[in-house]
Structure 1
Amino acid sequence: MAFVCALSNEVPETPVVSPVSGSVFEKRLIEKYIQENGPKDPINGERLELKQLIELKPASFLKSKAPTHTSIPAILKSLQDEWDATMLYSFTMKQQLQTALQELSHCLYQHDAACRVVARLSTELSKAREALAILKPQQAEQRNGANGMNGDEQDKEQAGISNLNEVLGISVEIKMKLHETAALLTQGRKAKAKIIPPSLASLEDVMNYQMVASLTGLHSPSSPGIMCLDVQNEWIVTGGNDKMVSIYDQASKTIVTSLKGHTKKVMNVACLQDEKLVVSGSMDSTARVWHVPTSRCIQTINAHKMAITGLSVHPTKDYLLLSSLDEHWSFVDLESGAIYARVRGDDGESEPGMAITSAKFHPDGLIFATGTFGADVKVWDVKEQQNVATFTGHGGTVVAVDFSENGYYLATAADDASVKLWDLRKLKNFKTIQMEPGFKITDVVFDFSGSYLALAGSDVRVYACKSWSEVSIFGEHTATATGVRFGNDARWIASTSMDRSCKIYSVQETQL
């Protein structure tokens, strides 16, 4: 009789093997069989003594399954459990692999960016050394000749140095003008907020926007890269890595003029088409006011000691807000270049080295916002020159700020691949638009109606302001996009990039 484990809760006895037939029996059963039927093997009937039986002993490292595994349902359940555990382990491993790939991609991007920065700095250092080598003999000649600069030039140079340090202060008359302008703008905005412009581009139109033009001849190909952008009416104004400011007219499809005068790349531009003026800020630490019809610089503003990082024109169009890497912001007269205020951006509350990276006036002109390397966003009172609110939450340098025309929302973009929306009434963040890891953001802007929000960086994206949902993505640029602006009534969108192009997006049938 062959050995079979009983399907019970009892643990089976030690099995034995018959050397006669080679069969396996339960010891208790084979002993009982021999006692009742004599010393013979139950399989082949040959003689079998009890002493001939061989006990089977399992290895110490093997553990027999519980009695429950002797039933088919129990075995199936055990197999299902093992399958589930295997699948869960496989899923966990895939998740960890995906996370590792994302982290690796981010690290490679950072490494590439660091290599580019090092290469650029090395190039600039070489150029600086060459310029210094040329400058030293010239300085020696001037000292030896004692006539290298006439009295008038010396007076101008001394005046420029004193102008940098002279702050006139914001007078009562200026404060009254700011207050009256803000009151009129606030009243007008409340009336406009209830009415959506009939000519405003619809959500469906913006969703169907396509690239309708690509302008590649605005700046020199020898120093590729457009660093900044501004749009007003039909003018598209760009500042380039070639130290020039270019103005393009959409109506005539021509370049109006190219403005030369800065000695380093132009990082900020502001357009005042109605006044035929353009304002630019540069890495050479100056801001310039240009008269477009004559292509002439009518004012050079020396309000800072380091690169200009932010530039915004006051709603009165009489004053200018500048921010700089020298950790200060300034309030300047647009016509005369007089400095009415120059204030340190940390307000004496944080450690030195907190450079200001961006600045923008509120639509009313009584307050403005600045972004910092320290990831903070500060809101300032122009008249009192005081920090009235500080927003924290970004995880990287704040690269761009912009106010909605409704006066309530502030959008800020940072190196942490996010855009945050702040409610100025409640002084809190009510929405964060988080991009995928490694996404670079360089600019953020509302359209004039406050209906759409656009950002530029790794690509160009447009969002609807009520739902904050993504409307369109434009990926036509072959390098990082550096600026984005809406045309009148959001009927078209312009963007600039380090690929030396300015691209225009609209419905395909629109004749710009």
Structure 2
Amino acid sequence: MICSISGQQASDPVISPKSGAIFDRKHIESYISTAGTDPISDQPLTVEELIAVKTSVSEVIPPRISSATSIPALLSTFQNEWDALALEVFTLRKQLYKAREELSAALYHHDAAVRVAANAIRERDEAKAALQELAISIGKSEVGETAEAVNNSENGNGKAIAGSIDEIPAEEINQAREVLFSLHKSQKPVFDIAPDAQISVEFIEKKGQPFKKSTASFLDSETKSLLVGTSTGQLAKFAFAGEGDDILTKSTASKGTITAVNFVLVESEPLPIIAYKNKIIIGQNKRTFKNNHSGAILQILVHPKLTNLFITLGEDNVWALHDSIREQSLLYQSPMSDSNIRTGDFHPDGALFAIGNDSKEVKVYGTSTAEQMTVLEPFYTNVIKVKFAPNGYWLLVGSTDGEKSRLDVFDLRKSTLVHNITFEEPLRDFVIDPSSSIVVSLGGSNTIALHKYIKKGKQWKNNYSMESFTNLSTLQAIHLLTNVNDESFKNENEIRFVGVAEDSTVQEFNLSYG
């Protein structure tokens, strides 16, 4: 019988119950005394567990061990030294085998890391090259559009481009972006409702009907203030601060149709900014700006932090960046587009803004550079609304062909479509809650539908709940009233929104959890 440690004939063979291997007793006992495990399987092993192997039945008693001065004793000493050396060689071989395995695994991981790094560097270089080519092509395109606009202006067929990129406060915009990014990253709002919970839309109350017709509306969820404009130049303000909600209706300094409204912060005071066909007014007769567009202003976008900065979208297919503090408010005006501008929105961090048109395009621009960053393609031709999700990396785009509609969800990180919701009727408006979990859509037949995103598993449930409010006035727009800082949202998952009807009726809704 050969010892598994020394490789020699075992004089006193024993078997380990842990590995089933045969050892010479003196070798295995010496190994157990130092390691306490089976040399082969590394399982815990004691001397008492060893099983002796009977090789003979002789009853002859071996002679006693002589003193170390005798030749047999010296030979025994040499034998013990040889056994110890064999044990050490076995241990070293075992450690060498383990070291080779660990080194092989480490080399494999290192090689994989090198390949990943090489691919990342290659993709970065390709992206840089593509960006340079895109910048060159955009530069040539802008030069051509600028020259064409100037020629049209000289011929009386268009309007010259005013303002310049140099006047855009890029450093302030980038600093504001860092502040907002850190703020949104620290908030992390959560919609704490079970995936199978029943959610429905509940009508709360009618707030009032200030006019016969509504032409524009906007709600600021921070101040809980709603603005509703009409064709006679009047503006109604609703407050949703709590009990005792009030409505204030005031006549503005100008007569004519109010085409767009919003809020700007002037000396820490939120004031309405109102767009007419030929002018822009901040506050009630507080300051008036000339409308630099050749047509009516369709929408006013205010920067989420630098509220003195705002963008106007015009019927002349031009967007313009303004500063309400400066005497000359116009900072930059884009070249005239071949497509009709429909709608736009600011990114929550203020570094980007998106503009949709009627040519099946949504263009995303950098605020500090006025450069076009990417173009997204919705399903239908006419874009009715674009909205950045509070999570910062989704862009929701509603489009229609007149009868059918679709809501597309794009991931800005890869400029790819990640989800879509189809409607068999015209889509009028939609909002998304602060946690980016619930989308509320408004259909043409006064149908309000809920669409739920479940983060666990990254699943969408379209038309999760639907309610048709045929007994109410036909809604024109819906605005989210709940803010991420509201205690009712943090503690009770309360989500409220306001509907503005075509006849200017203001109605309040919330989500009910069954």
Query: TM-score interval w.r.t. the shorter chain?
Result: 0.5 to 0.7
* Residue 63 of structure 2: aligned partner: none
Deviation at 1:413, TM superposition (A): 1.1
Per-residue CA distance 1:136-177 (angstroms, 9 max, x = gap): xxxxxxxxxxxxxxxxxxxxxxxxxxxx96834344781100
CA distance in 2: counterparts of 1:285 and 1:461, whole angstroms: 38
CA distance in 1: counterparts of 2:413 and 2:175, whole angstroms: 21
CA distance in 1: counterparts of 2:426 and 2:237, whole angstroms: 27
Deviation at 1:330, TM superposition (A): 0.6
* Residue 383 of structure 1: aligned partner: 368
Contact 1:493 1:505 in 2 (8 A): yes
Residues 441 and 259 of structure 1, relative CA distance in 2, 3 Å threshold? farther
Deviation at 1:270, TM superposition (A): 1.8
Deviation at 1:202, TM superposition (A): 8.3
Return 301-310 or 200-209, whichever deviates more: 200-209
Per-residue CA distance 1:265-293 (angstroms, 9 max, x = gap): 333322358623112334x1533322xxx
Per-residue CA distance 1:322-355 (angstroms, 9 max, x = gap): 1111010011002346111100363xxxxx3x12
TM-score of the superposition, structure 2-length normalised? 0.58
Match of 2:206 among 200, 205, 214: 214
Instruction: Tell me, yes or no, if structure 1 residue 335 matches structure 2 residue 325.
Output: yes
| One-letter code aligned to 1:288 | I
* Residue 316 of structure 2: aligned partner: 326
* Residue 492 of structure 1: aligned partner: 496
Structure 1: runs of 5+ lacking an equivalent:
1-163, 347-351
Contact 1:415 1:441 in 2 (8 A): yes
Helix, strand or coil at the partner of 2:379: coil
Instruction: Tell me, yes or no, if structure 1 residue 280 matches structure 2 residue 270.
Output: no
Contact 1:226 1:497 in 2 (8 A): no
Helix, strand or coil at the partner of 1:296: coil
Deviation at 1:206, TM superposition (A): 8.7
Contact 2:161 2:335 in 1 (8 A): no
Match of 1:313 among 299, 302, 309: 302
TM-score of the superposition, structure 1-length normalised? 0.58
For 1:366-445, list aligned pairs within 5 A. Answer: 366-416=351-401, 417-436=405-424, 439-445=425-431
Per-residue CA distance 1:466-497 (angstroms, 9 max, x = gap): 32533444533432523332333453110112
Residues 206 and 303 of structure 1, relative CA distance in 2, 3 Å threshold? farther
For 1:337-376, list aligned pairs within 5 A. Answer: 338-344=329-335, 346=337, 352=338, 354-376=339-361
Contact 2:279 2:288 in 1 (8 A): no
CA distance in 2: counterparts of 1:330 and 1:173, whole angstroms: 11
Residues 211 and 203 of structure 1, relative CA distance in 2, 3 Å threshold? farther
Give identity over the alignment, percent. 17
CA distance in 2: counterparts of 1:206 and 1:255, whole angstroms: 34
Per-residue CA distance 1:395-444 (angstroms, 9 max, x = gap): 231111110111100011122311111110010111111101xx222323
CA distance in 1: counterparts of 2:254 and 2:398, whole angstroms: 27
| One-letter code aligned to 1:428 | T
For 1:75-474, list aligned pairs within 5 A. Answer: 167-171=162-166, 174-193=169-188, 195-196=189-190, 207-219=199-211, 221=212, 224-232=213-221, 233-250=223-240, 251=242, 252-271=244-263, 275-282=269-276, 284-290=277-283, 295-315=284-304, 316-336=306-326, 338-344=329-335, 346=337, 352=338, 354-416=339-401, 417-436=405-424, 439-458=425-444, 459=446, 460-466=448-454, 467-474=460-467
CA distance in 1: counterparts of 2:417 and 2:294, whole angstroms: 34
| One-letter code aligned to 1:187 | S
Per-residue CA distance 1:364-421 (angstroms, 9 max, x = gap): 1111100112121111112222211111133231111110111100011122311111
Contact 1:322 1:359 in 2 (8 A): no
Helix, strand or coil at the partner of 1:363: coil
Helix, strand or coil at the partner of 1:211: strand
CA distance in 1: counterparts of 2:272 and 2:194, whole angstroms: 31
Contact 2:227 2:237 in 1 (8 A): yes
Deviation at 1:238, TM superposition (A): 1.8
| One-letter code aligned to 1:189 | H
Deviation at 1:191, TM superposition (A): 2.3
* Residue 502 of structure 1: aligned partner: 506
CA distance in 1: counterparts of 2:510 and 2:429, whole angstroms: 20
CA distance in 2: counterparts of 1:206 and 1:278, whole angstroms: 38
Contact 1:210 1:506 in 2 (8 A): yes
Per-residue CA distance 1:99-148 (angstroms, 9 max, x = gap): xxxxxxxxxxxxxxxxxxxxxxxxxxxxxxxxxxxxxxxxxxxxxxxxxx
CA distance in 2: counterparts of 1:370 and 1:405, whole angstroms: 17
| One-letter code aligned to 1:334 | S
Helix, strand or coil at the partner of 1:340: strand
Residues 204 and 237 of structure 1, relative CA distance in 2, 3 Å threshold? farther
Helix, strand or coil at the partner of 2:390: coil
Structure 2: runs of 5+ lacking an equivalent:
1-158, 455-459, 484-488
